[in-house]
Amino acid sequence: MTASLADVVEILEDLYPPSWAESWDAVGLVVGDPDAQVRRVLFAVDPVDRVVAEAADRGADLLVTHHPLYLRGTTSVAATSPKGRVVHRLISGRCGLFVAHTNADVAAPGVSDALAAVLGLVDVVPLQPLPAEPLDKLVVFVPVADADKVLAAVTAAGAGALGDYDQCAWRTTGEGMFRPLAGAAPSVGTIGEVTRLEETRLETVLPRGRRGAVVRAMLAVHPYEEPAYDVLELASLPGDRGLGRVGRLPEPVTVEELTRHAAAVLPATASGVRASGDPLRVVETLAVCGGAGDSLLEQAARSGADAFLTADLRHHSASEAPGGLALLDAAHWATEWPWLADAAARLAAAATVDTAVSTLVTDPWTTHSRSPHA
Ligand SMILES: [Zn+2]
């Protein structure tokens, strides 16, 4: 049961591509030699001293965390600072560190999918969907006998792929016409005479990034001197990826019941779960966002959700929550922790390594008291 660190990183970056991370984020391999062998991988939310000690106790060769170790630049990794100590401890314990943060937030499945799943949500869609991959459509008119050749060329250049299908195209036959003028060198027809002939109208989709390559491939094999073709930009559609999720609860519950349910299914923390508004309000649709979801309050209200569960909600944004949206504020660590098991299972399915999830509570809030007067 071993794999090289380079192989494990490749699998993790396939699940959570670094290009999906926000520009301010710091994701990917932080500590580790790509040639090192990996047998055990520990997943945790925070790369803090206690978690690194746990990784050493468990004999882990790699620690995968959600939160970055360094988010800003540093000029020292000396063990005189908490972060420097983490680097030292990891290296002396021959343990790598890999971070998947905002790239895991927007993945599908990602951090908020796992949160939605533990809460029991169904029919889950992104709360702030990212657009699906932009597509173009190529429409080209080609003599019937040359249609297969043109289709083969454009599909080889990246056109005609839809999900698990390739060579997808639509063709109809109709009549094309043209008149070659002086100076033309027509492959069919005569200068000065109108020519009519059967042509195939060939339509196929392509990723917008392949536009130049597909058009060049088509022009290279098209028999005409001046091929007629259209490149159409297809309207953008919401994709599967994005921040937050919204879905239906299996049955309607009150805010009070939902708060109790959330506190029971999320890992235990001192702060638990608190909610705003009328405790007897009925909730059918719930929006969620793992981690600090302040920025999604508007989207949560617009989504038609009755309530929004996230972490780190602030007084003013919560007081001014739009449209009577009930808010559930959970511990930041607890809302992200469910993702660890999901990520671990996906890595274990793709690599011959043992995986484990840290159960150390690294939420910074450790004590909570209700006022005796409440
Ligand atoms: Zn977070």
DSSP per residue over 321-351, as a string?
-GGG-EEEEE-HHHHHHHHHHHHHHHHHHHS
Please state, in angstroms and rounded to a whole number, the distance separating the CA atoms of residues 204 and 158: 10
Is residue 185 very low, low, confident or very high in pLDDT (cuts 50, 70, 90)?
A: very high
Q: Cα(66) to centroid of ligand 1, in Å?
A: 7
Question: Which among 357, 352, 353 has a CA at the least distance from the CA of 339?
Answer: 357
Q: Cα(27) to centroid of ligand 1, in Å?
A: 13
Q: Cα(167) to centroid of ligand 1, in Å?
A: 42
What's the pTM value of the predicted model, to 2 decimals?
0.83
CATH number attached to the domain at 135-233? 3.30.70.120
Q: Cα(279) to centroid of ligand 1, in Å?
A: 27
Per-residue pLDDT for 124 more than 80? yes
Task: Please state which CATH class domain 3-103 belongs to.
Answer: alpha beta
CATH number attached to the domain at 111-130+242-335? 3.40.1390.30
Please state, in angstroms and rounded to a whole number, the distance separating the CA atoms of residues 250 and 122: 7
Q: Cα(104) to centroid of ligand 1, in Å?
A: 10
> What's the confidence (pLDDT) of residue 320?
87
The average pLDDT across 126-154 equals 96
Chain mean pLDDT for the chain: 96
The average pLDDT across 147-170 equals 95
Is residue 324 very low, low, confident or very high in pLDDT (cuts 50, 70, 90)?
A: confident
> What's the confidence (pLDDT) of residue 2?
81
Is residue 133 very low, low, confident or very high in pLDDT (cuts 50, 70, 90)?
A: confident
Q: Cα(293) to centroid of ligand 1, in Å?
A: 9
Query: How large is the greatest C-alpha to C-alpha distance in the chain, in angstroms?
Result: 98
Three-state SS at 180:
coil
Q: Cα(312) to centroid of ligand 1, in Å?
A: 10
Look up tokens 């343990």; give the residue. Answer: 95
Please state, in angstroms and rounded to a whole number, the distance separating the CA atoms of residues 99 and 356: 16
The average pLDDT across 9-31 equals 97
Please state, in angstroms and rounded to a whole number, the distance separating the CA atoms of residues 345 and 155: 35
Question: Which among 245, 241, 279 has a CA at the least distance from the CA of 260?
Answer: 279
Per-residue pLDDT for 64 more than 80? yes
> What's the confidence (pLDDT) of residue 356?
98
Domain ranges for the chain: 3-103, 111-130+242-335, 135-233
Q: Which residues surround ligand 1, an ion (CB under 5 A)?
A: 291
Asked if 327 contacts 277 with a C-beta cutoff of 8 angstroms, the reply is: yes
Please state, in angstroms and rounded to a whole number, the distance separating the CA atoms of residues 333 and 269: 9
Is residue 24 very low, low, confident or very high in pLDDT (cuts 50, 70, 90)?
A: very high
Domains 3-103 and 111-130+242-335 share a fold: yes
The average pLDDT across 159-178 equals 94
Please state, in angstroms and rounded to a whole number, the distance separating the CA atoms of residues 258 and 283: 8
> What's the confidence (pLDDT) of residue 78?
96
Q: Cα(334) to centroid of ligand 1, in Å?
A: 10
Per-residue pLDDT for 374 more than 90? no
Per-residue pLDDT for 322 more than 90? no
